Structure 1
Amino acid sequence: MKQFLIPFLLLIVLSCESDRTNRNPFLQEIGFRFDANLNLPLYSPLTNTGSVVLIENNGVGTRGVFVINTGFDQFRAFEASCPNHTPNDCSTMSFNGQVATCSCEDYEYSLFTGEQFNRPDDGNRYYNMLEYRAVFSGNIVSITN
């Protein structure tokens, strides 16, 4: 039995991921849950593919959450605070279509993928949007972290 236990434990230890460089140092990961009922007028635009709604309720994300219908009953949710600096007066992003823009530096992000479009080539590390879990069931989109 011991001959199997040691290799098994060694395999578990070596398979653990130790790379934590993807953690965004600018944004706290706040625990929350929000249910968006698509029958309500405020969230009904999400019944159309490509439509985006900004949820700014208190306690939902740091500065709110963008929710987009990506098609085939799939939804994605992203933090509305710019991921490339600490939250401040200009860091709450606005959106036009499927593009979110940070007014601090005019950084633009895709609301379909969360990726930054105009990443400067200056050698610094830049982060994509912080994504939250979005699950669709019935007519409810549940956003959690």
Structure 2
Amino acid sequence: MKKVLLILSCVVFFGCDKNEISSNCNFLFDVGVNLTVNLNLPQFNQLLFIGSAVKVEGQGNEGIILYRLNTSTLLAWDGADPNHPPSACSALSLEANDGTATCGCAEENSYYLATGSFVGDNPPPCTLKPYRVEAIGNNSYLISN
């Protein structure tokens, strides 16, 4: 009985997948975010259209990227590359109308704004950091964490 238990323990211990979520996804600071966005205002009204994105500076780690996924869903992501320590190049910039954001570091990591996942092969361990988006009425949304 002890041998069977030992064998099962070894299978469970050594059989775990090494591709689990990395604990190294902690480059971004846990910055408090509490932002109200009114899509009727000129700086946000392009978010009324599906596939559009706006970056709001002064929030999160390197701003917050807002992305209109469909008629009923607005997504919010931190504007910093989660796979780089904070630096001048780790801020994400929006790519012209293709639904991605790219960092300015040498690797030029790009992420899909619809999912927060990495664009391309050999993805780094971290995806974009999401924020909570709550519709509060009259084309207004509360972005928070």
TM-score (norm 2): 0.77
Q: Secondary structure at the match of 1:129?
A: coil
Per the alignment, in what secondary structure is the counterpart of residue 75 of structure 2? strand
When the two structures are aligned, how many residues end up with a matched partner?
A: 122
How do 1:33-112 residues align onto structure 2 when only pairs under 5 Å count? Answer: 33-56=34-57, 58=58, 60-96=59-95, 97=97, 98-104=99-105, 105-112=107-114
Secondary structure of 2:85's match? coil
Asked if the contact 1:76–1:134 (Cα under 8 Å) also holds between the matched residues in 2, the reply is: yes
What's the counterpart of residue 11 of structure 1?
none
The question of whether the paired residues in 1 share the 8 Å contact of 2:22 and 2:126 is answered with no
Q: 1:83 to 1:113 in 2, by over 3 A?
A: same
Tell me which residue corresponds to 2:7: none
Give the alignment's TM-score, normalised by structure 1.
Answer: 0.77
Structure 1 runs of 4+ off > 2 angstroms? 19-24, 118-121
Aligned to 1:141: 141
Take 2:61 and 2:122, find their aligned partners in 1: how far apart are those partners?
25
Provide the alpha-carbon RMSD of the alignment: 1.9
> Partner residue of 1:3?
none
Structure 1, unmatched stretches of 5+, are 1-18
Percent identity reads: 31
SS of equivalent to 2:47: helix
Shift of 1:84: 0.3
The one-letter code sitting in structure 1 at the alignment partner of 2:143 is I
Structure 2 unaligned runs (5+)? Answer: 1-19
Range with bigger deviation, 107-116 or 132-141: 132-141
Aligned residue number for residue 120 of structure 1? 122
Bigger Cα displacement from structure 2, 63-72 vs 23-32 = 23-32
Q: Which amino acid aligns with 1:34?
A: L
